[in-house]
Amino acid sequence: MNWYINVIKNYVGFSGRARRTEYWMFVLFNAIIMFALYLPFLITREPALTALYAVYALAVFLPALAVTVRRLHDIDKSGWWYLISFVPLAGPIILIVLTATAGKPGPNQYGPDPKAA
């Protein structure tokens, strides 16, 4: 849970690097929370119940984008690589592979190795 909270605290920190653990723990907890917020709608089919889900999704949009950019920085790629996710079919798969790739050991142009700290 600390990984999730650290990403939220670094709300719009697009500089630096993020470890795989930080990124994937954020993704995991974010998916669990989003499912829990969407579950009442799935049970009742009452459209008004999606409001809390929508507010949460909007609130975590920037932290999710920032941690993805930092994850790309860890593998020595520019944050602009995030845009590959908009390519139909292959784009999201490529982004998943990139975010699952081990980070470059040692410092790179985006900062020191987060594993070394």
> Is residue 63 a part of any domain in this protein?
yes
> Is residue 107 a part of any domain in this protein?
no
> Is residue 12 a part of any domain in this protein?
yes
> Is residue 82 a part of any domain in this protein?
yes
> Is residue 105 a part of any domain in this protein?
no
Residues sharing a CB contact under 8 Å with residue 75, sequence separation 6 or more, in sequence order: 98, 101, 102, 103, 104
> Is residue 115 a part of any domain in this protein?
no
* Percentage, residues of the chain above pLDDT 90: 90
> Is residue 66 a part of any domain in this protein?
yes
In terms of residue numbers, what domain contains 51? Answer: 2-100
Count how many domains the chain has.
1
> Is residue 29 a part of any domain in this protein?
yes
Distance spanning both ends of the chain, measured CA to CA: 20
**Please, how many CA atoms are within 13 Å of residue 7, restricted to the half-sphere of its CB?**
30
Please give the Cα distance from 12 to 66 (Å, whole number).
Answer: 6
pTM above 0.85, yes or no: yes
**pLDDT of 71-117, one tens digit each?**
999 999 999 999 999 999 999 999 999 999 999 999 999 999 998 86
